[in-house]
Structures are given as C-alpha cells and as structure tokens.
Structure 1
C-alpha cells in the first residue's frame, strides 16, 4: 500500500512539471491573440530588415536570418549569416557607413502563420538621392519570405527578392558596374 501512495504522490508532484501546455484551440481568443502577436512580430522583422539595411548595420541585418538562412536576389543566392553579411559589404560598401541618402520602403505586407512557420510577401521600393540631389526610385520588387520561430523569435529562413524594376538581370548588371541605374 505504501508503494501505491508513494507512486501517487510522485505522480501528483512530478506529473504537472512534465506536462506541456497545449496550443490554444483554434478560434479561441487566445488563438486569435497569438495569431495577431505573431503577425505583428513578423511585420517588425520586415521593418527591422529595412532599418538595418539603411543604417548599414550588417550584423543586425544578418541576425534577422536563421543561422542557415538564405537570401536570393539580383546579386545571386547567399546562404548563412556570414555569406549574407559579406554580400552586403560587396554590394553596399563597409558596414557602419550609414547612408542617409537612401531609404528602403516595405509596403503591403501579407503574413500567413502556420504554427512555428510563416510566409510573408511584401513590396519594396529603394529610393536613392539622384545626381541632381532629388529622390529617385532605383529598385522595386516583391519580397517573399519564409520565416520560422526559433526560441520564441521569428527569423527569416529564406528571402527571395524578386526585382521588378529594374529586373533581376538588369540589377545584376548594375551591381557588376555593367549598366547604370
């Protein structure tokens, strides 16, 4: 009988510590709130992406990606934070050289969350100061992001920058110095 009592006490004290909370049931207030929080956190990743790019904070930029994250665009495909950071330095120059003469604008974000994975699409516009000193749109396109939640934080696992104006091929020539914007 003592063994049964001992097992019952163990179950009483140890059991709750090993039980994980179930995700909220679909349609509940908790589930809806979680979806809104996830979407806002992902939108914040998109905004931080543009801000870190404009401030030339390549470490903050790379930290928005998973350790094996991938960026694909006019400059090719780059996998891993170090490769993404190196791509930025090659295309934009040294880190920390904040350029107040350009802006990355991200608009029309659409976010779909599925548990710890999400997909976001957004439009982007890169504006630079032209030769005459006036703002000049120089690149526009669509981002498609696959994100994952890692230790409670949303990170980009894969980003595809689909340059529309100029096209990916035209932008690659501009980056290589073979064409003018």
Structure 2
C-alpha cells in the first residue's frame, strides 16, 4: 500500500468513525433531522431486537421521536468498533461495515413538577451493525441493525447493584 492509499484509508476510517459518533449524538440529543441526514435516501434501520420497528430512516426517526420522549436523559457509548471496507462487484472501497458494542444508560422522564433526577434507571447494551456507503456528500448510513443483548431497570429507591444483582452486594471492604 502506498502512503497516499494509506492516508485515504485513514481519512475514510475517521469519516466513518465521525458518522457513528454523529449517529449516537443525534439519538441522544433527539435531533431527528440530523438523524435522517446521516442516512442514504434508501437507508433503513432495524430496532426490532430492542422492541422497536424496522423501516426507512424517516419512519424510524418518527418512531424514535415518539418513543424517546419517555427518557429525559440518554447517552450512548459506542465502543469496540470493528470496521471493514466492503468488496462487492467493482467496489473500490465505497462500502463499509462496522460492528460495535454499545452501552446506553437512560433516565425515565419523571412527573412534570418533580425534582429532576440524573441517575439512569434504564440501561441496555448490545451490538450495532452499521453499513455505510460513500456518497457525493460523504459517508452515509445505508443500514443500522440494533442487536440488544441485555437490559436492566432500576426501581425508585433501588441502588444500581440491587437492580443488577437483585440484592445489595457487600462492599469491597468493610467500613472502619
């Protein structure tokens, strides 16, 4: 590989990484216009494993806009990104697949007059499978598939470890 090719591949990797980060940010911020702009015109998303829908980016963004209202706080952590450039008929590196793990703590929206809480009470994790396509406007998502592996909810007054384990776990060291 020449330095020019290596530089082009690095630039593509950074652009795709930014695309994935922008995906997380648009969902967390509830910016559904930005969400739709991340996709190709024929782009689709599949949230069925998380209890959602599968459809066009427009259909899914409308569903997300409604569904995400129940969460006052959302924050995606998308990690362990594995990127592979595609090889299809006459493909010159214009497609890419990304598999990445996610952790998504969220906070249910409380009563309108209630004191706002900041700790998450709903957390889920799993894996994303992104398919990206190089377009004249840069890299865009052709497909997003969510594969939720687990979720945890926390009742009012319950600590995180109680929600996860079902009972209070002993501290690592005894006090005093």
Structure 1 counterpart of 2:83, from 92, 107, 111:
111
Question: For each residue in 1:30-79, what CA deviation from the matched residue of structure 2 results, as whole angstroms up to 9, or x when unmatched?
Answer: 11111111111001011101111111100001111111111002312112
Q: Secondary structure at the match of 2:21?
A: helix
Query: What pairs up with 1:144-159 in 2 under 5 angstroms?
Result: 144-159=129-144
Q: Would you say the 8 A contact 1:121–1:145 is kept in 2?
A: yes
Q: List runs of 5+ in structure 1 lacking aligned partners.
A: 1-26, 168-181
Is 1:86 matched with 2:86?
no
* Correspondence for 1:42: 16
Q: Secondary structure at the match of 2:30?
A: coil
Structure 2 counterpart of 1:53, from 27, 41, 53:
27
Instruction: Please list every run of at least 4 consecutive aligned residues from structure 1 whose deviation after the TM superposition is greater than 3 angstroms.
Output: 129-133
Q: Distance in 2 between matches of 1:28 and 1:36?
A: 12
Larger radius of gyration: 1
Q: Which has the higher helix share?
A: 1
Q: Would you say the 8 A contact 1:78–1:87 is kept in 2?
A: no
How much has 1:82 moved relative to structure 2?
A: 1.9
Q: List runs of 5+ in structure 2 lacking aligned partners.
A: 87-92, 111-116, 153-176
Between the two proteins, the alignment pairs up a number of residues equal to 136
Give the aligned CA root-mean-square deviation in angstroms: 2.3
Q: Would you say the 8 A contact 1:39–1:113 is kept in 2?
A: no
Q: Would you say the 8 A contact 2:53–2:60 is kept in 1?
A: no
Query: What pairs up with 1:164-175 in 2 under 5 angstroms?
Result: 164-166=149-151
Q: Secondary structure at the match of 2:76?
A: strand
Q: Distance in 1 between matches of 2:9 and 2:122?
A: 34
